[in-house]
Amino acid sequence: MSQFPRLFTPLRIGPVVVRNRIFSAGHDTTLPTDGRVNDALLEYHRARAAGGAGLVIVQVAGVHESARYTSHILMVTDDACIGGYRRVADACHAHGCAVFGQLFHPGREIMESQDGTAPVAYSASAVPTERFHVTPRPLSRRMIAEIVDGYGRGAGRMQAAGLDGVEVVASHGYLPAQFLNPRVNLRDDAYGGDGERRLRFLRVVVAAVRSEVGDTLAVGLRISADELSHDGLTPDEAVAACAALDSDGALDYVNVTAGSSATLAGSVHIVPPMAVANAYTLPFAAAVKAAVSVPVLAGGRINQPQEAERALERGQVDACGMTRALICDPELPNKAEAGRLDEIRACVGCNQACIGHFHMGYPISCIQHPETGRELRYGRRRMTARARRIVVVGGGPGGLKAAAIAAERGHDVTLYEAENRLGGQVNLAQLLPGRAEFGGVIANLAGEARRAGAQLVMGTRADPDLVRRERADVVVLATGARPRRLPFETEGDPCVLDAWQVLNGTEPPDGAVAVVDWRCDWVGLGVAERLARRGRRVHLCVNGYMPGQLLQQYVRDSWLATIHRLGIDIVPLVRLRGVDDDTVYLEHTASGELVELGGIDGVVLAQGHESVAELTEQLEDASVEVHAVGDCLAPRTVEEAVLEGLEVAASL
């Protein structure tokens, strides 16, 4: 009997039977071009369907011209969209996977301009959104009718394309939620006022969709059961709306999530980062489930099949969204069903290449699985016609990925790691507060390399002699980086440590500590948090506008909340000039003026890294083919190291 008796049981959603309880929730991929499905998006979804997902919900699609919240949003406003959706439906159906589409209007939540000018945003009322600083225009009755019509016609086009269902996106503070929310909807016409009238917009939208598609398609609602914002939709309001629509008999399912686009605190929950507990939205889902008669779907940091099975067993949901879990490992359902649990590459919630790329306007991917979003190029592994002897130097993420892919392709691969454990800088990164899960990256990549047949040798420092003895045809260097020490003046005998020393357990003196953070990434924030939790008064002095400036915004914003709660003082826009026994001398990066910080007992430097490139130089004139990947090329992040490992190994 399967280890997952509930997860692999079919689920009926209205007229559709979904083969199992794992679904990919709607997520913007930035893959479409010109607002249409293209080959990249087709292959992206084909990979998830082939990997065993029961249901793929295709990303938000704008139902009206005023719905363009980014410059690359998918649109369902004319019939030209039908062909692309049909290709996705056919590709997924061929693997037994159902396909729904999301019908979307962001209302006031306009994230990007189309041409550099700010468009007019529309909402129920002229209540500004805090996160994007947009003041919308209240929708006229005529425009409401146009938008409602857009939902209906969009649903009709999805039906014509052969999709199995449509989902009205009322989650995350988007337009239908703006109408529901009494703090955002201040109208006094038929669409505002008491709960019934605030529900009217959503009611007419769902009715327009239903009258277009009848009972042949599943019609669902996505809603945040708690927007987790100071003026967001409350659980009572959200559950009441679901119950009312359910008693109308209007819905075939409810898809529960949390958070809101409108605030920093709320938006963290659109794609909750590692600091947020696994499966934390399930109590919200259970509250909705208690109030409706139709199946309830939910997701949010469910990254392993065991977690999903437990949720089903407890009766909190009927199906589990495992969105990033499938971005990270499209084969997760097949592996779970076959009992190959050790092979599952679990998402660690880093948000770097998935939602991180989306926010920067690039196609989504995964730091652990850079094949995601690049299916056209790396979707199929080509075996080599000429097996070669490959030595990889360095057991961090870049080296492990190179070893895994080269071995999978049929090469003879040995990896040498100087330390007695694999991982490189990830071993330190996982020591940052709330980042323990990050170590999973190494467990996953090492497992992949071993299963592919690569030999992993630890405690051996590679040098040119070893490369010669190994008779390597190719050397892949992945020797990583070490902390960078920028020059600065010292006087007296101040205590100055670097972040790596602190993470490895060296304690600065009690009292006040200045953390001087050049890169504005995880390290400065993490060290500051760690020291504050150990009783130090911390000044976090950053070279940018704010700590975490380089981080994905949900990771950064939830961390900024933590350091605010801990009372950490932030000094922005400064570079280090000098340190004496009790003072740190900084220089403002814009004005050039001196900024003195007195009463300091210790200083911790987080000044970025420099490449460990000695072996690269020593092998420069060797007759062997040499490639370098990751930080030893130039210090960056795990994402670039793993991608370069893939690129090099795929080219051999």
Contact footprint for ligand SF4 (CB under 6 A): 324, 327-328, 347-354, 366-368
**Cβ closest to ligand SF4, residue 199 vs residue 332:** 332
**Cβ closest to ligand SF4, residue 347 vs residue 515:** 347
**Cβ closest to ligand FMN, residue 210 vs residue 301:** 301
Residue type, 394: G
Q: Give the alpha-carbon dihedral of 454, 458, 463, 465, to 10 degrees.
A: -70
Distance of CA 598 to the CA centre of its chain: 40
Which of ligand SF4, ligand FMN, none has residue 59 at its interface (CB below 5 to 8 Å by kind)? ligand FMN
Q: With contact defined as beta carbons under 8 Å apart, do 277 and 145 qualify?
A: no
Tokens 């909705």 belong to residue = 288
List the one residue from 198, 301, 539, 556 that touches ligand FMN (CB under 6 A). 301
**Cβ closest to ligand SF4, residue 304 vs residue 611:** 304
Site string for ligand FMN, 357-376 (x = CB under 6 A): -x-----x------------
**Run of H or E including 145:** helix 141-160
CB of residue 323 to ligand SF4, shortest distance in Å: 8
The verdict on 354 binding ligand FMN (CB under 6 A) reads: yes
Token pair of 618, please? 């020593």
Distance of CA 296 to the CA centre of its chain: 23
Which region among 204-212, 316-324, 440-448, 632-640 touches ligand FMN (by CB under 6 A)?
Answer: 316-324
Strand partners, 564: none
Residues contacting 448, CB < 8 A, separation 6+ = 345, 400, 401, 404
Which ranges in 161-259 belong to alpha helices (H)? 175-180, 195-213, 235-247
CB of residue 428 to ligand FMN, shortest distance in Å: 26
First to last CA, the chain: 42
CB of residue 281 to ligand FMN, shortest distance in Å: 8
Radius of gyration of the chain, Cα coordinates, nearest whole angstrom: 26
The verdict on 262 binding ligand FMN (CB under 6 A) reads: no
Token pair of 211, please? 């009258």
CB of residue 55 to ligand FMN, shortest distance in Å: 12
**Cβ closest to ligand FMN, residue 354 vs residue 422:** 354
Site string for ligand FMN, 173-212 (x = CB under 6 A): ----------------------------------------
Compute the Cα dihedral for 482, 488, 492, 495 and give only its sign: negative
The verdict on 302 binding ligand FMN (CB under 6 A) reads: yes
**Tally of CB atoms within 10 A around 384:** 14
Residues contacting 260, CB < 8 A, separation 6+ = 172, 173, 177, 224, 227, 228, 229, 232, 233, 266, 267, 269
CB of residue 619 to ligand SF4, shortest distance in Å: 32
CB of residue 102 to ligand FMN, shortest distance in Å: 6
Report how many residues bind ligand FMN under the rule CB under 6 A. Answer: 26
The verdict on 300 binding ligand FMN (CB under 6 A) reads: yes
Spatial separation of the C-alpha atoms in residues 528 and 569, rounded to whole Å: 10
Which of ligand SF4, ligand FMN, none has residue 348 at its interface (CB below 5 to 8 Å by kind)? ligand SF4
Which of ligand FMN, ligand SF4, none has residue 366 at its interface (CB below 5 to 8 Å by kind)? ligand SF4
- Residue 296 φ/ψ, nearest 5 degrees: -115, 130
**Tally of CB atoms within 10 A around 194:** 8
Which region among 284-292, 294-302, 383-391, 493-501 touches ligand FMN (by CB under 6 A)?
Answer: 294-302
**Cβ closest to ligand FMN, residue 171 vs residue 178:** 171
Which of ligand SF4, ligand FMN, none has residue 124 at its interface (CB below 5 to 8 Å by kind)? none
Which of ligand SF4, ligand FMN, none has residue 270 at its interface (CB below 5 to 8 Å by kind)? ligand FMN
| Residues 15 to 44 in contact with ligand FMN, rule: CB under 6 A | 25-28
CB of residue 643 to ligand SF4, shortest distance in Å: 11
CB of residue 352 to ligand SF4, shortest distance in Å: 5
Token pair of 321, please? 């969204």
List the one residue from 125, 323, 352, 583 that touches ligand FMN (CB under 6 A). 323
Beta strands in 367-467 (DSSP E): 389-393, 412-417, 455-458
Q: With contact defined as beta carbons under 8 Å apart, do 411 and 439 qualify?
A: no
| Residues 446 to 475 in contact with ligand FMN, rule: CB under 6 A | none
- CB burial of 214-246 (b: ≥16 within 10 Å; e: otherwise) equals eeebbbbbbbbbbbbbebbbbbebbbebbbbbb
**Cβ closest to ligand SF4, residue 184 vs residue 332:** 332
Tokens 């109408």 belong to residue = 179
Q: With contact defined as beta carbons under 8 Å apart, do 413 and 388 qualify?
A: no
Q: With contact defined as beta carbons under 8 Å apart, do 445 and 368 qualify?
A: yes
| Residues 242 to 261 in contact with ligand FMN, rule: CB under 6 A | 257
Token pair of 106, please? 């962001």
Please give, one letter per residue, the 3-state secondary structure of 417-436.
Answer: ECCCCCCCCHHHHCCCCCCH
Which region among 156-164, 318-326, 574-582, 589-597 touches ligand FMN (by CB under 6 A)?
Answer: 318-326
The verdict on 284 binding ligand FMN (CB under 6 A) reads: no
CA atoms within 13 A on the CB side of 420: 0
Residue 107 gets which letter from DSSP?
Answer: T
Give the three-state DSSP class for 531.
helix
| Residues 46 to 65 in contact with ligand FMN, rule: CB under 6 A | 59-60
Q: With contact defined as beta carbons under 8 Å apart, do 172 and 225 qualify?
A: no
**Tally of CB atoms within 10 A around 346:** 21
Which of ligand FMN, ligand SF4, none has residue 358 at its interface (CB below 5 to 8 Å by kind)? ligand FMN
The verdict on 538 binding ligand FMN (CB under 6 A) reads: no
CB of residue 310 to ligand FMN, shortest distance in Å: 15
The verdict on 169 binding ligand FMN (CB under 6 A) reads: yes
Spatial separation of the C-alpha atoms in residues 456 and 446, rounded to whole Å: 8
CB of residue 354 to ligand SF4, shortest distance in Å: 3
CB of residue 326 to ligand SF4, shortest distance in Å: 9
Residue 120 gets which letter from DSSP?
Answer: P
**Cβ closest to ligand SF4, residue 77 vs residue 365:** 365
| Residues 89 to 108 in contact with ligand FMN, rule: CB under 6 A | 102
Which region among 47-55, 238-246, 293-301, 599-607 touches ligand FMN (by CB under 6 A)?
Answer: 293-301
CB of residue 350 to ligand SF4, shortest distance in Å: 4
CB of residue 463 to ligand SF4, shortest distance in Å: 34
Contact residues toward ligand FMN (CB under 6 A) are: 25-28, 59-60, 102, 169, 171, 222, 257, 270-271, 299-302, 321-325, 354-355, 358, 364
